[in-house]
Each structure stands twice: as structure tokens, then as C-alpha cells.
Amino acid sequence: VEILPVSLFSRLKTVVATKQSPVTALPAAASYPAVPFEEYSFSTATVAAAVCLQTNGFVAIRNILDETAVAECRDAFSKLFGVDHSHDGKTQGRSLSNETIFLKALNTRFADAIRSLIGNDVVLVNEMTVHDSMFGGWHTDTTSPEAKGNKQFHLFDDFGIYQCGIYLQDNSMLFGGGLDVVPGTHRRRDPVAAYLEWSKSNQKTPFVHECGSALDHGMSIANLRGDLVVFNLRVLHRATPRALPYRDKEDRKFAYFFVAGPDNKTTRSYRSWLDEYAELQGVSKPSQASAEFSDRLRSMGLRIF
């Protein structure tokens, strides 16, 4: 199967996204059909994979890291977070002191996949994290710019900023380890933002729970160790929950998350929002990348932004 050529990619973008349309935020739908495994899981980022991402808001690409790389990364994660896996979730953003762990995942297979899916001008936003045993509930990643920052950049039809998660274990019903999504919700109203808007409006009518029907249709993505899962920041998602304590260190959930988008006005607006939000929260922004980090990205035709 062929890798998406640039010319095809631009055509696809024209067909699927056209010009910036007026702000859209459809209400929750009555139902959200589950996407079969064969339709969201790809061995390479083909045209069909890019269409899946645009249509459903997510896609999985197999084996971005091979077994040796996964084992090395798992080892580096347990050194970074500590060998004891009985604690609650921990996360770290990129900083000068932990950069080497991020470099382990940044290979040409990853770079080629995100270029094919997002576009040749793709940039990595300076928002990348490593997670250990994080099991957050249903949410979108654009609630805060909408509800706290009053931003609208993510509400246009052609919004295309993504989380690129690399999972270091198989997703399992027992121990989690991957992502649940509600397909197609990246084109729908963010239920949490809708609720926050309602709660500020002093309305006398009760809030109509937009989430309800959506969450009945959540599905787990069957990712394996080393797979990349790319999902639109607007799609309703959660970490696949864990039902049981880990049996041993191999069940422990480790994952990378890189935010990536095209080098355009929307991605710049999102990047400014991240700076604004960090200031609002009184946290310091991630530091500049080292020369080694930037060089590695450059060697793969990527940039940090």
C-alpha cells in the first residue's frame, strides 16, 4: 500500500476540509457507530488512514517502535518514574533534564507517519509528555481554550491539531493501556464546554446532558505495544480504564503524547493559548529544546514549535 504522496494529501485536505468555514459545533448525535478494527488500524499511514483520521477523529498506526525500542523505552520510563508501580498516575512534560526519553521515540517511522497524516508542513507543538499509569476520564483537549480562554480557533471545520500517543503496552480490558474514543465527536459540541457555558449563563432551564448518548458509544482502540494512536484534540476520549491492579511490571501503563499540527495560523493560536494558560495557572513554560533535540528533529524533517 502506498504512502500518502504530498499532492494527494493536498487534494484530500481540499475535499475533506475546504476553506475555513464558519464556526461549527453540532450538538451531540443520537448515535455514534463504532469503527471496526480493520478500518482504523493501519501498518503504514496511507490515504485511507488519513481519511479515517479526518472522518472518525482517530487512527492507529502499527509498530512505530519495534520490540527492542519498546523494551528500551519501558526501561527508561521505570528509571524516570521509579520502579514502584503501586502509586497513582504520574506525568512529566519535556524539559532539558528528561529530553533523552523523548528522543527514544522520535524516529523516522513516527515522522513519516505524522507527515502523511497531518501534512508535509507538520510541526510538533512544544507540548509533549510522558505518562505513567494515568487513567483520566472522558474529556476533550479543547475544553480549556473554549471555556477558560474564550477561544474559537478549534471550532472551525478544518481544525487539525492532534495528540500523537505512542503506547508501550497492549491495550487490555483488565489493565487498560490505551485509548477509548467516541468516533466522530471532533465535529460535535464539546459537552463539558457546553456545560460550563450553561453554568455561567444563569439559565433557569436545566442543562440538557449532551454527553449521555455519546458516552454510550465509546469504543476501545486495540493498540499493541509500540503503536501510534493519533487523535483530534476535539474528539471525546479517555484512557481505557484499568479494572485490576497490575500483576507485574509488564502491565504497567506507559505512554508518550506529542501534540502536532500543520504550520498554520490555527496551530500558532493554539501554541499562544498554551503559553497564556500556563501563565494563568502560574506554571512555567517548557524550556527551549537542546541543540541535540532540535538537530534530531531536523534530521527527520520535523520542527518543534
Site residues (CB under 6 A) for ligand AKG? 131, 134, 136, 141, 163, 165, 179, 237, 239, 255, 257
- The string of DSSP letters for 116-173 reads HHH-TTEEEEEEEEEEES----SB-TTHIIIIIT---GGGSTT---EEEEEESS--BT
Q: What residue number has its CB nearest to ligand AKG?
A: 239
Q: Toward ligand AKG, which CB reaches closer, 9 or 227? A: 227
- CB nearer to ligand AKG: give 6 or 283: 283
Which residue's CB is nearer to ligand AKG, number 179 or number 211? 179
237: its cell numbers: 476520549
Cβ closest to ligand AKG, residue 116 vs residue 171: 171
- Spell out the residues 6+ positions from residue 15 whose beta carbon is closer than 8 angstroms to its own: none
Extract the C-alpha cell encoding 166.
505512542
Who's near 19: CB < 8 A, 6+ residues apart? 158
Q: Phi first, then psi: what are they for 279, rounded to 5°?
A: -65, -45
Asked if 144 and 202 count as a contact pair (C-beta separation under 8 A), the reply is: no
Q: Which is nearer to ligand AKG, 46 or 171 (CB)?
A: 171
Shortest Cβ distance from residue 130 to ligand AKG (Å)?
Answer: 11
**Could you please report the per-residue DSSP string of 20-72?**
PPSP--BPPPS--PPPPHHHHEESS--HHHHHHHHHHSEEEES-SS-HHHHHH
Query: Nearest-5° angle of CA 107, CA 292, CA 101?
Result: 55
Contact criterion met (CB below 8 Å) for 256 and 169: no
- The least CB distance from residue 182 to ligand AKG, in Å, is 13
Nearer to ligand AKG by Cβ, of 137 and 301: the residue is: 137
- If the CB atoms of residues 70 and 179 are measured against ligand AKG, the closer one turns out to be 179
Nearest approach in angstroms of CB 22 to ligand AKG is: 27
CA distances from 44 to 178, 227, 305 (A): 19, 11, 25
Q: Write down the residue that cell numbers 499562544 correspond to.
A: 272
Shortest Å distance, C-beta 4 to ligand AKG: 25
Q: How far is the CB of 205 from ligand AKG (least distance, A)?
A: 31
- Closest CB to ligand AKG among 56 and 163? 163
> CB of 136: closest distance to ligand AKG in angstroms?
5
Could you tell me the smallest distance in angstroms from the CB atom of residue 21 to ligand AKG?
A: 26
CB of 11 to ligand AKG, least distance (A): 30
Q: How far apart are CA 293 and CA 106, in angstroms?
A: 10
